[in-house]
């Protein structure tokens, strides 16, 4: 009886890839100064710190957190409104299926890409250096961040519309203003409102930490108490901020589901 010999699979390539990935991980860990012992000791210290923050928070400090939280929400509302207001006409001009002039849409897209790559924290730091500390710097940072975000999402929505309505109006001799009003805006308005609400959600979370660089809001109170190591007060700030942001996210998400 003839024996069938099954050739052994050559695992050299697989083993080399595994060794390469392992070497990359180990080398990156050593370069970053990663230490298992240091991590374990840090977890123990972090546990004690979390106990000071959340097991015995200073609830008597809660009334002093309300006004900064309200300021944070106001910053988010104003920043989102300004950013969305500017974003809509820019998105219309950046959409390649409306104006159809690359010398307008291409530079606008490039500018929007630049705005979207700059974090709100960096913008807030720059505006604090220019305009000083306070909510005004935070509002400007949130407005620019919102502008870049909503503009990108909106012009992509414009480019994805049903173009049959546009062609129907153009065949009747409608100008671009009428096309925008009767064919484009009705199709993208729900998405635009949804994007604006989403930007507001993001801005509330961002505004909660912008005060850390002096841009007003709850972040400024957080930074002050953290610098004085008042972790019992820091715990109260985190807890109240968490529930406020959670409530805003739930309401905003519910509205956005109904719009889209």
For position 243, which CATH number holds? 1.10.3720.10
Residues 160 and 96 placed together within one structural domain of the fold = yes
Residues 168 and 193 placed together within one structural domain of the fold = yes
State the helix-helix crossing angle for 120-131 and 135-159, rounded to 10 degrees: 140
Residues 205 and 104 placed together within one structural domain of the fold = yes
Residues 217 and 102 placed together within one structural domain of the fold = yes
The reply to whether 78 falls in a domain is: yes
Residue 106: its pLDDT value, please?
A: 85
Residues 203 and 251 placed together within one structural domain of the fold = yes
The reply to whether 2 falls in a domain is: no
The reply to whether 7 falls in a domain is: no
Residues 78 and 44 placed together within one structural domain of the fold = no
Return d(Cα 49, Cα 144) in angstroms, integer. 36
Q: Are 207 and 70 in contact (CB under 8 A)?
A: no
φ and ψ of 246, to 5 deg: -65, -45
The reply to whether 97 falls in a domain is: yes
The reply to whether 66 falls in a domain is: yes
Residues 48 and 86 placed together within one structural domain of the fold = no
Residues 49 and 66 placed together within one structural domain of the fold = no
The reply to whether 3 falls in a domain is: no
Residues 114 and 16 placed together within one structural domain of the fold = no
Number of domains in the chain: 2
Cα-Cα-Cα-Cα torsion 73, 234, 41, 20, nearest 10 degrees, comes to 10
Q: What is the pTM of this model?
A: 0.76
Residue 184: its pLDDT value, please?
A: 83
The reply to whether 4 falls in a domain is: no
Residues in the chain: 260
Residue 4: its pLDDT value, please?
A: 59
Tell me the CA end-to-end span of the chain in Å, nearest whole number. Answer: 70
The reply to whether 6 falls in a domain is: no
Residue 83: its pLDDT value, please?
A: 92
Q: Are 74 and 135 in contact (CB under 8 A)?
A: yes
Residues 128 and 236 placed together within one structural domain of the fold = yes
Label residue 35 left, alpha or beta by phi (over 0 means left) and psi (-120 to 50 means alpha): beta
Distances in whole angstroms, Cα of residue 117 to Cα of each of 2, 114, 209: 67, 5, 18
Residues 65 and 158 placed together within one structural domain of the fold = yes
Per-position b or e across 177-196, b if 16+ CB within 10 A of its CB = eebbeebbeebbeebbebbb
Structural domain harbouring 124:
59-259
Return d(Cα 170, Cα 179) in angstroms, integer. 7
Residues 76 and 205 placed together within one structural domain of the fold = yes
List alpha helices for the chain, DSSP H. Answer: 12-31, 36-50, 63-94, 102-117, 120-131, 135-159, 163-171, 176-179, 185-210, 218-227, 231-259
pLDDT averaged over consecutive 10-residue blocks of the chain (260 residues)?
Answer: 56 81 83 74 76 81 88 90 92 82 83 83 86 86 90 87 78 79 84 88 84 80 84 87 86 76
């Amino acid at each position: 009886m003839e024996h069938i010999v099954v050739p052994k699979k050559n695992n050299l390539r697989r083993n080399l890839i595994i060794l390469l990935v392992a070497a990359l991980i180990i080398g990156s860990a050593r370069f970053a100064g990663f230490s298992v012992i240091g991590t374990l000791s840090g977890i123990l210290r972090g546990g004690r710190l979390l106990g000071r923050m959340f097991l015995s928070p200073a609830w008597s400090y809660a009334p002093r957190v309300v006004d900064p939280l309200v300021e944070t929400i106001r910053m988010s509302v104003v920043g989102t409104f300004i950013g969305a207001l500017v974003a809509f006409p820019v998105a219309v001009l950046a959409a390649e299926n409306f104006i159809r002039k690359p010398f307008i849409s291409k530079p606008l897209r490039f500018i929007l890409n630049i705005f979207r790559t700059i974090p709100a924290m960096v913008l807030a730091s720059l505006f604090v250096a220019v305009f000083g500390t306070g909510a005004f710097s935070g509002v400007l940072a949130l407005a620019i961040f919102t502008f870049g975000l909503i503009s990108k999402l909106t012009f992509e929505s414009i480019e994805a519309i049903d173009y049959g309505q546009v062609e129907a109006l153009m065949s009747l001799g409608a100008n671009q203003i009428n096309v925008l009003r009767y064919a484009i805006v009705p199709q993208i308005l729900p998405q635009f409102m949804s994007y604006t609400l989403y930007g507001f959600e993001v801005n509330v979370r961002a505004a909660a930490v912008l005060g850390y660089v002096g841009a007003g809001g709850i972040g400024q109170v957080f930074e002050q108490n953290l610098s004085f190591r008042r972790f019992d007060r820091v715990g109260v700030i985190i807890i109240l901020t968490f529930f406020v942001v959670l409530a805003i996210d739930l309401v905003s998400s519910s509205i956005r589901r109904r719009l889209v």
